[in-house]
Amino acid sequence: MSEVLAPAAILVASDDPSTRARLSKALGEMQHRVALAHDGEECLRGVLATPPDLVVADLSKTAVGSVEVCRMLKSDEATRPIPLIVLIPRAQRERRVDAFEAGADEVLPKPISEPEILARIKTMLRFKRLDDESRRQRRVIDSLLMISTMCQGYADASTRMFSDFGRRVAELLRAEQVAVILGRRGAPPSVLSFWPMSLAPARIDALARCEAVVRVMRSAAPITVGADESDRQASLGLEGGFVGVPVLGFDGEVLGAVTAFGTPSHLRPESVRILLALAGRVGAEVQLRDHTERLEELVRERTHDLVEAKGALERSQTETILRLAQAAEFRDHETGNHLTRLSQFSCFLARAIGMDRAFVELLALASLMHDIGKIGIPDAVLLKPGALTPAEREVMKRHTVFGAQICRGSDAPLLQMCERIALSHHEWWNGQGYPQGLRGEAIPAEARLVAVADVFDALISRRHYKEPWPIDRAFDHLTELAGTHLDPALVTAFLDVRGAVSEIAGRLADAA
């Protein structure tokens, strides 16, 4: 079954009426929201006014052409993440190179193949959503860091701090409005800070008196209401999704609430837990105004909250990698224990050549992501039962680039290793591999390790096109590949521990 993507906003910029009409009709039938531009200047204005999820540029007759549009969008940090497909006439090879150098994510030939461009749009939208989620997770980490620094300089920067706090909460929960509301016992509720800063006074007052906010402070417990829970919204005086957590004092007294309005239907549990930790900091700030001498004690108490929240986020990242890797393996119809065997083979080989513990621990997870890029390969190629054509093989080779793109842009050592392995695990020791044609030790060590493990496991595993090889024959074949396909030193090390490797292969063998 083909994947169904949520509707996206797509800008089609073309000076060809036929192209505009065809793409507008086809994308509209896929439920996407399509905006049209007739020239480059109109395209740039449209992107800046309402940034789309993807841009298709087919501009060869206007003053500002496709390459210029691409260069301008990719040079601006705000518009750089927007995927851009450029259409260039097949005969104009130099312009196609110019488009790639200007930063185009894809260049397709004209006349267009409608199925091909729709498939590429679908793939790029999938990558865009993964990238958006990655960026949102990095903002979650920013929020975690803010928990530990929020009290520094509070006396001189309280207003700025709470304004920044509201913005970060809105990013964390994807909320439309955020308010920090104070409501100590016996005092009417009041808004300490709010976001966005453009909220009208009447709206701010309404937020403070909303029934949902009153119940959060009365119960001293979090309340979440999904965007699709219309009955609960009505009973709580809401017009959309809502998340509210209490702000508690040191003694458990309810001081107020941190509230978010216009939240989506489904929230990640760790987001609410992080919000609770943030609300703890709000409570600290409120009371620190009167009790500055307790600052050091407060930081010690809340540090545990930060460690727990950070640990939960790291565990979530690990689980996400495992699930993504399993999804790619399942889609490719790989055998059940392939990932587990490959990870253990890779780690055993890494230890055998003296890699340190930190490297091996990263490799155990990063090796699982070696084929994650297959998520971006069309089913017609990935699941084809027979031999691939030369053109199909070129498409399949792109899974290395797709995998690297999925993992790219992170400061985390784990995802950086994932990127190197995904990109380079099909490079050959003699330089005849892909996608970059790297040779020898120019290939990252982790990619060379995974290549040995991956080739060996493929040989001893059943595939739709072959039976599993006897393990001794597989070891012999590795020797034949040493120095051409595989790093000869790693093959020698792998053969030196063949007893342990054979034990892993037998223990984790797939069912017949």
DSSP 28-41: HHTT-EEEEESSHH
The DSSP 8-state label assigned to residue 300 in this structure reads H
Which amino acid belongs to residue 383? L
Cis peptide before 488 (omega within 30 of 0): no
The confidence score (pLDDT) of residue 153 equals 47
Spans in the chain with pLDDT lower than 50 = 1-2, 144, 147-148, 150-157, 293, 295, 335
Q: Strands across the sheet with 223-225, in order?
A: 190-195, 177-182, 254-263, 241-248, 223-225
Mapping DSSP to helix (H, G, I), strand (E, B) and coil, where does residue 474 land? helix
DSSP string for 125-143: HHHHHHHHHHHHHHHHHHH
Q: 314-507 in CATH: which number?
A: 1.10.3210.10
Residue count of the chain, please give it.
512
Q: What is the pLDDT of residue 152?
A: 47
Architecture of domain 158-290: 2-Layer Sandwich (3.30)
- Find all residues with CB under 8 Å of 377, minimum gap 6, and list them: 395, 396, 398, 399, 402
For 9-134, give the CATH class: alpha beta
- pLDDT for res 1: 41
The answer to whether residues 240 and 176 touch, using CB atoms and an 8 Å cutoff, is yes
Report whether the peptide linkage leading into residue 468 is cis, meaning its omega lies within 30 degrees of zero: no
Q: Is the dihedral of CA 501, 507, 511, 512 positive or negative?
A: positive
Taking a C-beta distance cutoff of 8 angstroms, is the pair 417, 446 a contact? yes
- What's the confidence (pLDDT) of residue 147? 46
Whether 260 contacts 177, CB under 8 Å: yes
Torsion of the alpha carbons at 495, 500, 501 and 502, rounded to the nearest 10: 100
Would you give the distance in Å from CA 19 to the centre of its chain? Answer: 32
Give the model confidence (pLDDT) of 39-73 as tens digits: 999 999 999 999 999 999 998 888 888 999 999 99
Instruction: Provide the β-strand partners of residue 254.
Output: 248
Measured CA distances, 295 to 153, 155, 278, 290, 327 (Å): 11, 12, 16, 11, 47
Q: What is the pLDDT of residue 151?
A: 45
pLDDT tens-place string over residues 118-133: 988 988 888 888 777 7
Residues 6 or more apart in contact with residue 225 via CB below 8 angstroms: 212, 232, 233, 236, 238, 241, 242, 243
Q: Quick one: tokens of 124?
A: 């790029």
Residue found under tokens 């690990």: 318
The full set of domain ranges for the chain reads 9-134, 158-290, 314-507
